[in-house]
Chain A
């Protein structure tokens, strides 16, 4: 028990250092004036989504810019400006296991993305999609009720499917394809076999504007 205050001090020391360090760094944050037009604030995206060996497919989506902030810091090597964005995120994805067709599904989700872009255009983003729906599509399915066997129309199951993505990307300013991204996605499907099935997938694709930015 006596060790606890000392341990707390040890834990806090790095934060004190950081705090002193920040005093010598000039920080400036400005909100960016966002364009009015919907298409100027929206990037669309298309790309691969899947698990390489088991299920592969296509992801379509859109990202609507909600808020953008430019943060400038003075560092030893000079001034550094990063852009921080909050975006509304929407996706529609279809994946299938081509080998045995037992893992086919359509996913749609909505959520928020936080993205940081540095002056070189390198991006890091975290997407939280709390509203997600996954619909599995099964091959031929027969339902058995007592002695009756009936073929099921459009067999499959619906799942609540929230997800979290962490990814990197590269911004391409002034190009038709405005960037590319690589995300690792973690998704839960529930209720699945009396629980919530976790799954990981990769997303790689391109973002583009419907209007070419100048």
Chain B
């Protein structure tokens, strides 16, 4: 009996040992084919960075996901596969997002702290890959607010800023939603596309407060914006974005959902209807690339023009993707990758 138990324990320890060894990552860096995950510990948060792609040029594209509360690896797909062939891409789960964990008070969290987290990530990347490493910063949606917040603290580390459907002005977004819905609804009804839906959008607009930002109404408009993009896809106005490149095993959905609800509840009060970087965009002077979907209902293309006109960069480019909404990296992947690669090639 004792030998049976002893053998069972041996099996258990061998299994546990194997799991622990399997869990420990190697310290060698193969710049040709980077594929490693490490955490950045900063101000009571541990945030994972997933570094993938070709780092031989030591050029790293640091990405900031949307949300707040989105997924760092949510960018993965055909466009970023192409970018990874030439350059290293850093996917980063922001504080309170994805697989980030930590112990901090709600009151401590704001966009300033999250911008400091991004700068901490850059310090870690320099430590890991060398001080000669060069960086580009790319922000999508909420990442388009966090990006300017980061660059306004320190843009000297970055060779360029890529703004993808970025929300640099959550303060004005509520009212722009209303204007954009009116514009697109009229256009689509004239084209006889999903008439019942677009008429229902008018119904939503009649029920929200047109003069004062209301968080519940904002959330309603935001949900309607995502629904509208599904209609535009069904009516073949924008391309099908597919399912994206996040693997089922990368994120536990319950953790993701809990995190996104938590971080949004923390940040929404100080962001929606209040936060705006429009007046400070002239302070960002590094080369900038602005990429936007023509039919972005979530952060309307008005902000593409506003970013282009206000950024202080001498070298700036605005590209509108005609068959895209809020996620041109999925709906026009080849064109998106081409523009990003051209920009990095030009300014690296």
From A57, which residue of chain B is reached at the shortest CB distance? B19
Picked from A46, A100, A144, A193, the residue with its CB within 8 Å of the CB of B250 is A100
The stretch among B80-88, B121-129, B142-150, B194-202 that forms the contact with chain A is B121-129
Flag if A197 contacts B124 (CB, 8 Å): no
Indicate whether A94 sits within 8 Å of B16 (C-beta atoms), given known contacts A53-B249, A101-B37, A157-B46.
yes
Any chain A CB within 8 A of the CB of B243?
Answer: no
The stretch among A26-34, A73-81, A110-118, A147-155 that forms the contact with chain B is A147-155
A212 to B4, CA, bound (A): 12
Any chain A CB within 8 A of the CB of B215?
Answer: no
Cβ–Cβ < 8 Å partners of B120 in chain A? 144
Any chain A CB within 8 A of the CB of B104?
Answer: yes
Flag if B46 contacts A100 (CB, 8 Å): no
Cβ–Cβ < 8 Å partners of B266 in chain A? 194
Any chain B CB within 8 A of the CB of A141?
Answer: yes
Q: Which chain A residues in 183-214 approach chain B with CB under 8 Å?
A: 191-195, 197-200, 210-212
Flag if A101 contacts B23 (CB, 8 Å): yes
Report A13-53 CB contacts with B as 1/0, cut-off 8 Å.
Answer: 00000000000000000000000000000000010000101
Interface centre among A103, A176, A210 (most CB of B within 10 A): A103
Flag if B39 contacts A157 (CB, 8 Å): no
Picked from B8, B42, B46, B95, the residue with its CB within 8 Å of the CB of A155 is B46
A53 to B247, CA, bound (A): 10
- A124 CB → nearest B CB, Å: 25
Flag if B106 contacts A194 (CB, 8 Å): yes
* Interface range, A side: 35 or more
Flag if A54 contacts B249 (CB, 8 Å): yes
Flag if A144 contacts B40 (CB, 8 Å): yes
Cβ–Cβ < 8 Å partners of B104 in chain A? 193-194
A94 to B22, CA, bound (A): 13
Any chain A CB within 8 A of the CB of B1?
Answer: yes
A198 to B1, CA, bound (A): 40
The stretch among A83-91, A131-139, A163-171 that forms the contact with chain B is A131-139
Picked from B15, B22, B40, B252, the residue with its CB within 8 Å of the CB of A142 is B40
User: Can you sample 14 A-B contacts with CB below 8 Å?
Assistant: A46-B8, A51-B252, A57-B19, A94-B16, A100-B37, A100-B249, A101-B37, A103-B252, A103-B255, A139-B24, A157-B46, A157-B103, A194-B266, A200-B254
A-B CB proximity, top 9 nearest: A99-B249, A144-B120, A102-B99, A141-B39, A143-B41, A140-B38, A54-B252, A149-B127, A142-B124
